[in-house]
Amino acid sequence: MLKPLKAIVALLLLVSTIDAQAQLDQLFAPFDCREHAEFFHVVEAVEPPKVDSVIAAPEIVIEIDTINEWKEWSYVENYNFGKDRGAMPMITDLRALHPYFRDKINKLIAECKKQGIELAVVESYRTHAKQNEYKVMGKKYTSSGAGRSKHQYGLAVDLVPIVDSVAVWDNKQLWLKVGVTGEKLGLRWGGRWRKPYDPGHFEWTGGLTSVHLAHGMLPIISEDHYPCAHDDVKLLRKYWKEWETAQAAVTRK
């Protein structure tokens, strides 16, 4: 009577040991988050140092989602700032801009805030699909076709002053203050243009022309100030492409 019971207990003990070992293996299995991020998939395998009877603590890895950030970019729907800007949503996230230009815009917003002017982002990066929509809507919206606007390279932004929660489009004095502040930061201001007069528009190309941009060039910025500039821009191009695909799909519907 006792023997079978002993055997069962022994068997249960064995099973639980194997199970615990499996769990332990899982716990200490090497995990490299970079393998899961497309941009850092080339990881050199390094032999761990051979140390007896020391179980290394699992490395703490901060996982940054480098694949889907574009999905988190903020955007607004038409009439959000009181104007007809077409059916396709407008990307308003400053992360969608070229890193150097993005910093300048953050400075512009901060400088204006010091002067008591609150600015909202109407549009930052713009897809070809969205640019085409403006083109169809007429000259009032853009004089450039797909590929010709600085917005399509993350090098332009449209802003508007907000007074008492309302977008103020027609206060020339206010625009001048914002425009001059932007120009002091080295930005080109659309308030100096006549066709069309575009006071909410700021751009910067680092000396590149539309032709350079259309050929896929982007301003090169010093790695001294932006250690990850190269990778950031590479990632940014990928996000732009994702938006392009998403909005082009909407157009086809």
Which residues would be at the binding site for Zn ion (CB under 5 A)? 158, 201
The candidate with the shortest Cα–Cα distance to 123, out of 113, 115, 114, 133, is 133
CB of residue 75 to Zn ion, shortest distance in Å: 15
User: Cis before residue 4, ω within 30 degrees of 0?
Assistant: no
Helix axes 229-252, 99-114, angle to 10 degrees: 90
CA distances to 43, 61, 102, 217 from 153, in Å = 30, 33, 12, 9
CB of residue 195 to Zn ion, shortest distance in Å: 14
Q: No. of H helices and E strands in the chain?
A: 6, 7
Query: How far apart, in whole angstroms, are the C-alpha atoms of residue 143 and residue 216?
Result: 21
Identity of the residue, 189 or 229, whose beta carbon is nearer to Zn ion in the bound complex: 189
CB of residue 247 to Zn ion, shortest distance in Å: 17
For residue 3, give the H/E element and its range: helix 2-28
Left if phi > 0, otherwise alpha if psi is -120 to 50, otherwise beta: which for 226?
A: beta
Closest residue to Zn ion in the complex (CB): 201
CB of residue 225 to Zn ion, shortest distance in Å: 26
Identity of the residue, 187 or 221, whose beta carbon is nearer to Zn ion in the bound complex: 187
- Cα angle value 224/229/231 (rounded, 5°): 135
CB of residue 198 to Zn ion, shortest distance in Å: 6
Identity of the residue, 95 or 151, whose beta carbon is nearer to Zn ion in the bound complex: 151
Task: Give strand pairing partners of 156.
Answer: 203
Identity of the residue, 104 or 201, whose beta carbon is nearer to Zn ion in the bound complex: 201
Identity of the residue, 133 or 158, whose beta carbon is nearer to Zn ion in the bound complex: 158
Quote the tokens at residue 244.
């392009």
Query: How far apart, in whole angstroms, are the C-alpha atoms of residue 8 and residue 6?
Result: 5
Quote the tokens at residue 216.
């896929």
